[in-house]
Amino acid sequence: MATRTEAIQVEATRRRARSVWLRLIDFARGKPLGFAGGVVIVAMFVLAIFAPFIAPYDPAAQHASDRFVGPSGSYIFGTDKFGRDMFSRVVYGSRISLEVGFVGVGIGLVGGTIVGLACGYFGGRVDMVMQRIMDTLMAMPALVFCMVMVSVLSPSITNVMIALGIVGIPGASRVVRGAVLSIMQNPYIESARSIGANGWRIALAHLLPNVTAPIIIIGTAGLGSVILAEASLSFLGLGTPPPAPSWGGMLSGQAQQYGVQYPWLVLFPGAAITLAVLGFNLFGDALRDVWDPRLRGTQ
């Protein structure tokens, strides 16, 4: 009996795995650009997780005798002013970009979801006051707001993530609010109220599950923008402080001074930023097309 049960479980596992592969193949055929973006994202995660095994050198280690060495067998991406291996720094830089991206987007999504649920469900004065606050935040240029906030709090990776998260709250709240207002028109919301369900239960059991898809889409599409914003702040000296291997930080300072003479100082960090932003944008667009019923079936 036990053997038969185990065989059934194994067969069920195989069918689920086969179903996942088939869906992945269908996604690759239907959205090739989105699939390519997903491959870039997976590659970034591999670099970030296995950085100690992929990077041949310590990203902060200086080799005084190997300053400004061009790409070669010993240094794939060359070295910088201090003799640090650029390939190792680019690999470790993926960790900072992913950390800032996911934490910053997470703060924006959590804050935006709470505000959007409150505005959509309660309406009235709550909606009016919160929307005016969101309008004020959206009226300020995002990068300028982050620059001011990080300057006041002092440049650090934590403050960068907080600033980028706050900037993302208004956009997420608008999307969640719109979805909640639409869901509130459904009969089952009134039915839940009629049987005595309180606001918290309605919000968590009926509203939140129905806005999960747009939340995920916003987050995926926003990751590229957050990574680019972190790189911009680091380029301006307000992001991740040196000697941490931030992609944006690699483009500032010595890269500005020696970039023309030693182009690899600019080329490889810039290519990493471009690929990361492009990958998340392509994957986010494909995810939106697949999950949005109005766009389903488009190429």
pLDDT at 50: 92
* Minimum mean pLDDT range among 17-26, 32-41, 133-142: 17-26
Q: What is the mean predicted confidence (pLDDT) over 152-162?
A: 85
The span from the first CA to the last CA of the chain, in angstroms, equals: 49
pLDDT digits (tens, 9 = 90+) for 249-259: 888 766 667 77
pLDDT digits (tens, 9 = 90+) for 194-234: 777 676 777 777 778 888 878 888 888 788 888 888 888 88
Residue 111 pLDDT grade (very low, low, confident, very high; cuts 50, 70, 90): very high
- What's the Cα-to-Cα distance from 231 to each of 72, 209, 253, rounded to whole Å? 27, 34, 13
DSSP secondary structure string for all residues of the chain: -HHHHHHHHHHHHHHHHHHHHHHHHHHHHH-HHHHHHHHHHHHHHHHHHTHHHH-SS-TT---GGGTTPPS-SS-TT-B-TT--BHHHHHHHHHHHHHHHHHHHHHHHHHHHHHHHHHHHHH-HHHHHHHHHHHHHHHHS-HHHHHHHHHHHH-S-HHHHHHHHHHHHHHHHHHHHHHHHHHHTTSHHHHHHHHTT--HHHHIIIIIGGGGHHHHHHHHHHHHHHHHHHHHHHHHTTSSSPTTS--HHHHHSTHHHHHTTTSTHHHHHHHHHHHHHHHHHHHHHHHHHHHH-TTTTT--
Distance CA 182, CA 216 (A): 18
Residue 14 pLDDT grade (very low, low, confident, very high; cuts 50, 70, 90): low
Q: Is this prediction's pTM over 0.85?
A: no
Is the pLDDT reported for residue 15 higher than 80? no
pLDDT digits (tens, 9 = 90+) for 46-99: 999 999 999 899 888 888 888 888 888 888 998 888 889 999 999 998 888 888
pLDDT: which is higher, 121 or 24? 121
pLDDT at 8: 59
Q: Return the bridge partners of 85, or none.
A: 79
Is the pLDDT reported for residue 17 higher than 70? no
